[in-house]
Amino acid sequence: MLNINEYKTSPFTDLIERIWIAENIEKEVEIIIPPNQYVNLIIPLNDSKYQRNQTWITTPQIEGISSTNTVLTYPVGTKLLGVRFFAFGMFPFLKVQGKNIINTSFELEKTNKNIQYLNTDSNINLIDKTHELLNDLFSKTSCKEILQIKTFYKQFRWNDNSISIKEYCKKTKTNYSTLNRNFVKIIGVSPKKFERLIKFRKSLCSLIGTNENLTSIALNSGYFDQAHFIREFKKFSNLTPSNYQSLIKQDNDKIINYNFKLF
């Protein structure tokens, strides 16, 4: 069984979605993580290890946003600490470019940042150390570099997503070429690809957490119609929405448990 404890952090709530500690205490667990728009700093604790797409990981890692499924395997005894950043949120702390970590896991040592955690059973101590670490790493200068992307993200993540990117740029007097260049550098994909990923995540959340029909899910997630929704969903998951629902019913734990709130 994989136990997950989640914590909010302050003052970086606009950069960090949550801090989490996961521990596997019973038997080996394999989990499929759907495509997502988050970046994670993951630190194996107490000499534990895990597999990511059949590759063993034993050192602190940075995981970029993903446009494909990721398979994670946790042996018994695995304990991990993670910081889950919004897509732009890691940059002010580690200044790792998104184009270098998209769809992959990046060993933290390559950033020349030495992160060490004492072996301890106290989650409170671990969270305190994490807050200290984040405060030490934070750069106001780097934070200014992500302002344009943060503004875009707020529009398409939380606000009315019926506006097109072209309309958004015109309304906000944003130069698209500059926006695209910043997106590729900091997040690793174009604004259009990122918008598609957000819509997919919205639809995935509704598909799993509600009893809405596919047409309602499609429209509420920002798709033109049900056909557009099915086509896009299949591109990200390799399954139709209906097939994905069937798969969830067969093995709910394998797909969802680790992924917190899907959207």
Q: Tell me the C-alpha distance between 178 and 182, whole Å.
A: 6
Total domain count for the chain? 2
Instruction: Say if residue 80 is in the same domain as residue 189.
Output: no
- Residue 58 belongs to some domain of the structure: yes
Q: What is the pLDDT of residue 26?
A: 85
Q: What is the pLDDT of residue 258?
A: 46
Instruction: Say if residue 103 is in the same domain as residue 8.
Output: yes
* Domain C-terminal end among 90, 124, 140: 140
3-state secondary structure of 12: coil
Strand 29-33 to 2-7 pairing: unpaired
3-state secondary structure of 188: coil
- Residue 135 belongs to some domain of the structure: yes
Q: What is the pLDDT of residue 157?
A: 74
Name 128's bridge partners.
none
Residue 3, φ and ψ in degrees, nearest 5 = -95, 130
* Domain C-terminal end among 121, 140, 159: 140
- Residue 205 belongs to some domain of the structure: yes
- Residue 184 belongs to some domain of the structure: yes
Q: What range does the domain containing 182 cover? A: 147-256
Q: What is the pLDDT of residue 164?
A: 86
Q: What is the largest CA-CA distance in the chain?
A: 55
- The CATH number for 74's domain is 2.60.120
Q: How far is CA 255 from CA 32, 57, 72, 76, in A?
A: 5, 20, 10, 18
- The CATH number for 237's domain is 1.10.10.60
Q: What is the pLDDT of residue 255?
A: 52
Instruction: Say if residue 124 is in the same domain as residue 166.
Output: no
Instruction: Say if residue 86 is in the same domain as residue 157.
Output: no
Instruction: Say if residue 80 is in the same domain as residue 186.
Output: no
Instruction: Say if residue 122 is in the same domain as residue 163.
Output: no
- Residue 263 belongs to some domain of the structure: no
**pLDDT tens for residues 174-210?**
999 999 999 999 999 999 999 999 999 989 888 887 7
- Residue 65 belongs to some domain of the structure: yes
Instruction: Say if residue 159 is in the same domain as residue 232.
Output: yes
Instruction: Say if residue 89 is in the same domain as residue 34.
Output: yes
Whether the CB-CB separation of 100 and 32 falls below 8 Å is answered with: no
Q: Tell me the C-alpha distance between 149 and 95, whole Å.
A: 15
Distance of CA 77 to the CA centre of its chain: 24
Which DSSP string corresponds to 57-125? E-S-EEE--BSS-EEEEE-TT-EEEEEEEETTTTHHHH---GGGTTTSEEEGGGGT--------S-HHH
Instruction: Say if residue 82 is in the same domain as residue 36.
Output: yes
Per the structure block, which two tokens stand in for 172? 């906000």
Q: Tell me the C-alpha distance between 198 and 183, whole Å.
A: 14
- Residue 261 belongs to some domain of the structure: no
76: left (phi over 0), alpha (psi -120 to 50) or beta: beta
- Residue 159 belongs to some domain of the structure: yes
Spans of the chain, pLDDT less than 50: 257-258, 263
